[in-house]
A and B are shown apart, each in its own frame.
Chain A
Amino acid sequence: MAIRSRKTGKPAPRQMAPQGTLARAPKKAAERGIAAAQKSRTNGRPEPWVGRRYLRKEDPRLIQGISHYADDLRLPGMLHCVFVRSPHAYARIAGIHTGAARSSPGVVAVYTASDTKALGVVPCAGALPDLKIPRHPVLAEGHVRHVGEPVAAVIAEDLYQARDAAEKVQVEYDPLPAVVDPEKALAGTNFVHASVKSNQAFTHQLKNGDVDAAFSRADRVVKARFVNQRLAPVSMETRGVVAQYLPGEKTLTVWSSTQIPHLLKTQVALILGVPETHVRVVTPEVGGGFGSKLNVYREEAVVPFAAMQLGRPVKWSESRRENIAATIHGRDQINYVELALKKNGTILGMRARVISDLGAYHQLLTPIIPTLTALLISGCYKIGALQCDVVGVFTNKMATDAYRGAGRPEATYIIERMVDLAARELNLDPAEIRRRNFPKPREYPFATITGITYDSGNYENAMKKALELAGYSRLRARQKDAWKRGKYYGVGLSTYVEICAMGPSTAMPAGGWESGTVRVEPTGKITVLTGASPHGQGQETTFAQIVADIFGLTPDDVNIVHGDTAAVPYGIGTFGSRATAVGGTAMYIAAQKVKAKMAAIAAHLLGEKAAAMNFSAGRVGTKKKSLGFGEVVGAAYVARNLPPGVEPGLEATHFFEPSNFTFPFGTHVVSCEVDAETGHIRIDKYVAVDDCGNVINPLLVEGQIHGGIVQGVSQALFEEVIYNEDGQLVTGTLMDYSMPKAAQVPEFILERTCTPSPVNPMGVKGVGEAGTIASTPAVVNAVCDALRPLGITHIDMPLKPEKVWRAIQQARAAAAS
């Protein structure tokens, strides 16, 4: 049974997940999960869909450009919105003159804060005890606090008229000195929010074990300061909002390029004061988010507000400049870290201070992100004692929030750099010091010093495999040879663990569960409604593979519906590598419920036991007696001959609450060459061994790893949002902001190990962020390793050529003097 690409008719690439991933599933998970299903089908039955490299159902429409993004929507009578944004980092608004704009051709309305001040504010879900939440109005009130802050909204008949009129809105600004450097901001008296009277937004401490004792017992203490620079997520599709209000029906429909349609629906209702029953949010095609669309933005309130005021549909499409200036940023931490070590490399204790640059206002999860750094800061190591202090700082910049990995890449960078520095200090091989501090496989579930429990793992196995694949000893030999020739060649490791499948509701700001509905339609086709809201990950395909196997059908028989609050029961959304592990599980359990009902009906019709019913190749029954799948479905809907107590219809909904996060892990190995003359870095080899538990579709897992590594390598080498000392955004276009390009990254050599998660029946973990989390420290470790002969221990990211060149110059000068 070959999969054929629908267009070409050629067989699609197809193979089972390599290294027999499912076969290695521990007994416990296998009994309940797809591993069991897989096993039971090997005797003469069709090969399951799960585990195949099945081409994405989404791709034909995306590749042909015939699907619809927010900007493709055209509604009758639709108006266009352009925002007037602050050119200043910090200024008092002395006056706004909208007369000329209002009388500009085609202009229907110009809104400023005086029109919107009665509306609710942009929400923040953070709940730390001392958290200051300054007012975050939908349009700037009194002051602007970052470049790109929206001050006015111009609504016109067409986009060109709106853009021209926006130039005519005159805003009188009294510029104020900007707060830019977060460390200076903490000590300073120039406040981003006068009402808060401090730039400190919150503090958070995670403390466990006797830290002072650990440090006083230590043979060695290694200290470092790291900068984890600010990044722009730059999803391929920028944001976009279309809103329509029907005054008769009193219904508000908002189409938005978001990762969280249901949460947005609730928030729009609250901000605008509309009953939630009358609000519908639809996500059209969403062209990526990387966390940046896991948010509620000002524009998502202003555009519907205008549509309600004017009784006409209104559209806003974000430009790339707006996207870089006024969509959330990621990272932006300064870390002070100390590690207490025994001579043999044992990590006795860790102290860390995390200074998080939050920007001017809290977005949805702004203050939560750096607390995730604290939660993961011990990485994949047994650490005796820990103190991690986090402080959030207001500055005159765009807010930071969730960007691919969200707090976890920062944690991984900290611990993986520190372990490398420790290895160097103690003269140990970087792989060896890691091995000595890993928990052993029998120690799972493993309770970390940060207070969480790693569900499963085998770090040493993944590392061993990665080192073998990379030819670690050969790379070391090559390095020695390069050093002898005055060349700089380095090898870097990153052994990471991450927190996925977000998450149990107790650990989440607004619910960590997910919903799934499975409905077998009267024609025998299956509709799945999922509260997860994929936006490029490919769940329309993987979820269909899972459901097809459960019912003995094909993925083409299954349609996944998501992103429409009028059609789909309430859900949380897609982020934190949760869609499959949490949303997929909800759907899996709902499907099992429907299957049980169909089994009962089929057994009744066949005069057999329900437990004996098998679903295979479109039939339901036993080897001897069976019915067509459609016959059983027909019986459920015609409802004339149902077993006693069984309701008509074939639909079930399940709300799945996970008992824990999942903890994927792995090892990435990078080798690189540094051109000492220019500081240019060339990555020579990139090997990644990742363990994300059971794999639904290896093709999509590899795609996620590829994209993740590219973004992580890009952070290490190029990417950086730069505000100058006046708070001006210097990297405001893609001519200055270095998005990674295919030609800039090496070939990736990928492998997997498989340690199924015990916290969900499918044994899946999540893979959306792994590449980003693992790759950044691996690259920096490789570069610092290459420069060892010069005595260079650390260079902050991004490792731009000039910075590397200067570090080399300085080291040489120091050696000469």
Chain B
Amino acid sequence: MIPANFDYQAPSSVEQAIALLESSHEAKLLAGGHSLLPAMKLRLAEPALLIDLGRIPGLSYVREAGAQVALGAMTTHAAIAESPLLASRSPLLSRAARQIGDVQVRNRGTIGGSIAHADPAADYPAALLALDAEIVARGRKGERTIPAREFFSGLFSTTLLSGELITEIRVPATTGAGTSYAKFHHPASGFAVVGVAAVVKMASGKIQSAAIGITGVADHAYRAGAAERALVNQPASAIAGACSRAAEGVDALGDHFASAEYRKHLAAVYCRRAVQEAMAAKA
């Protein structure tokens, strides 16, 4: 478990990090290291240069930003899990963070690293999609804001451009909505075999709107549009039927632990559970 040779730089500003990133095609940003370093030890990744974001001040925070809550890219899973601000304004992300890995992973891993890595079984993507979050990226040409729906594009791939790094993630306050994250843990890795995030708004006993993000099933997390539409204006009794469409039209992945068919089935079951839980959650 010995990585190949690499150079190491620890810039003290985002600008320096961007300049270093541009300086080499084989450079990689290092955040918590909990996806990148295992890959390097297995020599699945052999970057020539590691740019450690850990010494840049001001990239780790959870703060109010108008109707949104803003999180620095280097904010750890543990900080997100325990944030009182998120607990009161947008608890879904904390719920997802609490279910990531084990204590060590939560103490080291960061939200920026997780979404940049875009593991098909990672937890945040489901939550960020359901929340219609925004990702702030900065590059040589300046800053842009990417809606979560346009961010995850495939297996371990995002629409982040080379030379760009994530600085911030913004999630809306979910006051008035019920939210939930329901996860089926892989017994070995702890990742999501299926993870369903739901944001549900109710009006006079019926579902006014439902936003559902699903991870673990396809090569990247997705919004379960068919199920969402089927839920609108429906009473509780119709939830199971609507949620059976959670993986409609989705090209599911399978492996020795869970086949594609089983994952699609789990998506439906966990979708129903997440929606029911969200409805029960005090908005």
Contact = CB atoms under 8 A, between A and B. Distances in A.
Interface of A: 82, 159-160, 163-164, 167, 319-321, 677-678, 680, 717-718, 722, 724, 730-731, 733-739, 741, 744, 800-802, 805-806
B262 A802 contact: yes
Contacts of B188: 718, 734-739
A718 B187 contact: yes
Contacts of B5: 160, 164
14 contacts: A82-B2, A160-B5, A167-B43, A319-B1, A320-B1, A678-B184, A717-B187, A724-B256, A736-B188, A737-B188, A739-B188, A744-B187, A801-B262, A802-B259
Given A167-B43, A802-B262, 18 more contacts: A160-B5, A163-B2, A164-B5, A320-B1, A321-B1, A717-B187, A731-B256, A733-B42, A734-B188, A736-B188, A736-B256, A744-B187, A800-B257, A801-B184, A801-B258, A801-B262, A802-B257, A802-B259
Contacts of A680: 184
Interface of B: 1-2, 4-5, 42-43, 102, 184, 187-189, 256-259, 262, 265-266, 269
Residue of A722, A730, A735 with highest tally of chain B CB at under 10 A: A735
Nearest to A735: B189
| Shortest beta-carbon contacts, A-B, top 8 | A163-B2, A738-B188, A735-B189, A738-B187, A802-B262, A718-B187, A319-B1, A677-B269
A788 B177 CA distance: 42
A737 B2 CA distance: 21
A805 B268 CA distance: 14
A805 B2 contact: no
A167 B43 CA distance: 10
A193 B44 CA distance: 33
A736 B189 contact: yes
A801 B269 CA distance: 13
Helix, strand, loop or mixed for chain A's interface? loop
A802 B257 CA distance: 8
Contacts of A744: 187
Nearest to A679: B262
B266 A678 contact: yes
A730 B256 contact: yes
A786 to B, nearest CB: 19
Contacts of A722: 256
A736 B42 CA distance: 14
A730 B188 CA distance: 13
A680 B256 CA distance: 16
B2 A160 contact: yes
Nearest to B258: A802
Helix, strand, loop or mixed for chain B's interface? loop
A805 B262 contact: yes
B2 A159 contact: yes
Given A320-B1, A735-B188, A744-B187, A805 B265 contact: yes
A444 B132 CA distance: 72
Contacts of B187: 717-718, 738, 744
A677 B273 CA distance: 11
Contacts of A800: 257
Contacts of A163: 2
Contacts of A734: 188
A800 B42 CA distance: 27
A801 B256 CA distance: 12
A678 B182 CA distance: 13
Contacts of B1: 319-321
B98 to A, nearest CB: 13
Contacts of A321: 1, 42
Nearest to B188: A738
B265 to A, nearest CB: 7
A256 B226 CA distance: 60
A237 to B, nearest CB: 14
Nearest to B184: A678
A737 B187 CA distance: 9
Residue of B42, B187, B259 with highest tally of chain A CB at under 10 A: B187
B6 to A, nearest CB: 11
A759 B265 CA distance: 57
B195 to A, nearest CB: 14
A163 B40 CA distance: 13
Contacts of B184: 678, 680, 801
A722 B262 CA distance: 19
A678 B4 CA distance: 42
B135 to A, nearest CB: 26
A614 to B, nearest CB: 53
Contacts of B42: 321, 733
A289 B269 CA distance: 41
Contacts of A731: 256
A804 to B, nearest CB: 11
Nearest to B268: A677
Contacts of A802: 257-259, 262
Contacts of B256: 722, 724, 730-731, 736
A734 B102 CA distance: 14
A354 B102 CA distance: 40
A320 B188 CA distance: 14
A167 B102 CA distance: 33
A724 B5 CA distance: 33
A82 B2 CA distance: 10
Nearest to A803: B262
